[in-house]
Structure 1
Amino acid sequence: MDILVMGAGALGGYFGGRLAAAGHDVTFVARGAQLEALQQNGLKIQSPSGDLHLPKVKAVSDPKQGAHADIVLFLVKNFDVETAAQTLLPNLKSDSVIVTLQNGVSASRRLGEIVGHDRVVPGIAFIPADVKAPGIVRHNAELQRLLFGQGSKVNAGQINQLATALEDVGVEVMISDNVQIMLWTKFVFLSAISAMTTLTRLDVGPLRKTPETAALLRQAMDETEAVGKVMCPDLPQGTAEAQWQFMLSLPDTVHASMLDDLRRGKPLELNYLSGDVSRIGHEQGVATPLHDFVTAALQPYVNGAPI
């Protein structure tokens, strides 16, 4: 398959690298130091599932420099979705499939409005990975799982091909006929932990140990579940409780990647996390006071460190 990895960070580097090593034609779209490292030194993956070094990879700054894609792994940040979608259009075939793996619940809809909804397949990645240094992806545990939707009648075959290719390189793949349930389940957890760890600049340990902040963390989950039940009626009752129990099992040092972005002075995905909970809540008549507050309080940082 011809595969275009749109956003060659930790996830794009890992999945794209494994697929390239298996003989698939993979083009990485990257920028800055990551692009320079990929072009000069190739891609390295450090992983308990086996290290990998690809001395030469196809890495470009603009998707138009790559081939027409059978599959696009769409991994840009939420705030880049619309811009990236426009640059992607010349690379699409009539049957190209785009798998979205953004945080939150709105990226697939926003992308579909530009490239066509039938092309877009929402997905969720479960993999602890980061960019250790430009061109070096560090996979921190054996977990490597992707869940995505079945796709439309037009592209179901492409999705099955992708699933097979990923399974062949050791990735656990799940194809769901109701991926929205999984998206909202993850969002109940993610929106809450992003809100509270970024707002307080604390890991979950101190938040859980302090009754006042623990109550706010749980409130954030409850608000997202209430919005999710309106948008995804099949979302199981008690999703917030289940995610709360999951959060209680995490190490004290866990925090959201949005906190890392804030500390580094980078733009935040705030408006697609708490911001989407707040926006959808207002549209649907569901009260979301905590997410409203977090969205407003962190707004000065949304484009990076305030000047």
Structure 2
Amino acid sequence: MKIAVMGAGALGGYFGGRLAAAGQEVTLIARGAHLAALRARGLKILSPRGNLHLPAIPATDDPGAVGPVDVIMFMVKNYDVESGARAIAPMLGPQTMVVTCQNGVSAHERLGAIIGARRVVPGVARIPAHVAEPGVIDHSAMWDRLTFGEADGRVTARVEGFRDAILAAGATAVLPDNILHDLWKKFISQATLASMTTLTRLDLGPLRANPDSRALFVAAMEETERVGRAVVHDLPGGLVQKEWEILDTLPDTMHASMLDDLNAGKRLEVDYLSGDVVRLGRKHGVPTPIHNVLWAALQPLKDGAPPRLANAD
């Protein structure tokens, strides 16, 4: 299977590396210092599921040099979805499948509007990983699940084949009954976790331990669930409780990757997290006062934290 990873950061590097080590033909598409390190020293994965070093994995910043592939793992940031969709055009063959792995619930539709919805398979990644240094992926727990499926619920040969390839590589792949349900299950907690940890610059532990911030956290999740029910009418019940049970098991030091982006001076995905809660709430007539505050409060930071002003004398 010929696979391209568009946006080979932490998640793309992890899954791409596992697939390459298992014998799949994988090309990583990256940029900057990370690409330079991949070319010079290869890819390293540090993981409790087994460390890995691929000293000669193909890596480029030019999708045109790759040519048509069977699968594109589309792992760019949300704010790069449209530009990334145009960039992958040289890699699209007649049967190419593009699996999305962005945070939130809107990326697959935005991507499909540009490259054609039939090519797009929505996906949800649940894996704690980050780029520890250029060329090095730090995967910090045993779970590494990629859930994906056809938007219409069909189980097709293409999704089964890609699932089997991931499983053979020693990672976890799941074909759900309804991928839209899975997108919203994660989004209900993810949108709140991202905005609250980023806005407060705190890990989950203190937010979870304080009764007032805990109550706000739960209320924001409930708000997102109400929006989800307006968008996906058959969304299962009890999702806030189920997601909170997961959040309660996570380490106190857990926080969203959006906080890491803020601390690194990078752009934020807030418009596609709390911002999409607000946008979809307005579209479907569901009030979203909590996420409106979270989204609006983060707007001055969404293009990177501005420099601090010196204290006036």
Normalised by the size of structure 2, how large is the TM-score? 0.94
Aligned to 2:99: 99
Aligned to 1:169: 169
1:34-64 CA deviation, whole Å, 9 max, x = no partner?
1000111111112222221111111111211
Aligned to 1:21: 21
Aligned to 1:186: 186
Amino acid aligned to 1:179 = I
Is the contact between residue 153 and residue 177 of structure 2 (CA under 8 Å) also seen in structure 1? no
Aligned partners of 2:296 and 2:114: how far apart in 1? 28
CA RMSD of aligned residues (A): 1.6
1:176 partner SS: coil
Aligned partners of 2:20 and 2:246: how far apart in 1? 34
1:140-151 alignment to 2 at 5 Å? 140-150=140-150
Aligned to 1:137: 137
Shift in CA distance, 239/42, structure 1 to aligned 2, threshold 3 Å: same
Aligned partners of 1:154 and 1:191: how far apart in 2? 28
Q: Do residues 76 (structure 1) and 76 (structure 2) align?
A: yes
Shift in CA distance, 237/209, structure 1 to aligned 2, threshold 3 Å: same
1:268 partner SS: coil
Aligned to 1:195: 195
Shift in CA distance, 51/277, structure 1 to aligned 2, threshold 3 Å: same
Shift in CA distance, 151/165, structure 1 to aligned 2, threshold 3 Å: farther
Amino acid aligned to 1:132 = A
1:148-199 CA deviation, whole Å, 9 max, x = no partner?
1146799922222111111111122211231111110100010111121111
1:244-273 CA deviation, whole Å, 9 max, x = no partner?
232223222211111111111110000000
Aligned partners of 1:119 and 1:256: how far apart in 2? 29
Gaps spanning 5+ residues in structure 2: where?
308-313
Range 221-230 or range 18-27, more displaced: 18-27
Aligned to 1:238: 238
Amino acid aligned to 2:112 = G
Aligned to 1:10: 10
Range 132-141 or range 91-100, more displaced: 132-141
Range 239-248 or range 110-119, more displaced: 239-248
Aligned partners of 1:290 and 1:155: how far apart in 2? 37
Aligned to 2:288: 288
Aligned partners of 1:181 and 1:47: how far apart in 2? 29
Moved over 6 A (4+): 151-155
Aligned to 2:228: 228
Query: Displacement of 1:280 after TM fit?
Result: 0.4
Normalised by the size of structure 1, how large is the TM-score? 0.96
1:72 partner SS: strand
Range 215-224 or range 42-51, more displaced: 42-51
Is the contact between residue 151 and residue 180 of structure 2 (CA under 8 Å) also seen in structure 1? no
Shift in CA distance, 78/134, structure 1 to aligned 2, threshold 3 Å: same
1:49-94 CA deviation, whole Å, 9 max, x = no partner?
2221111111111211112111000000000000000011121001
Q: Do residues 61 (structure 1) and 43 (structure 2) align?
A: no
1:48 partner SS: coil
Gaps spanning 5+ residues in structure 1: where?
none
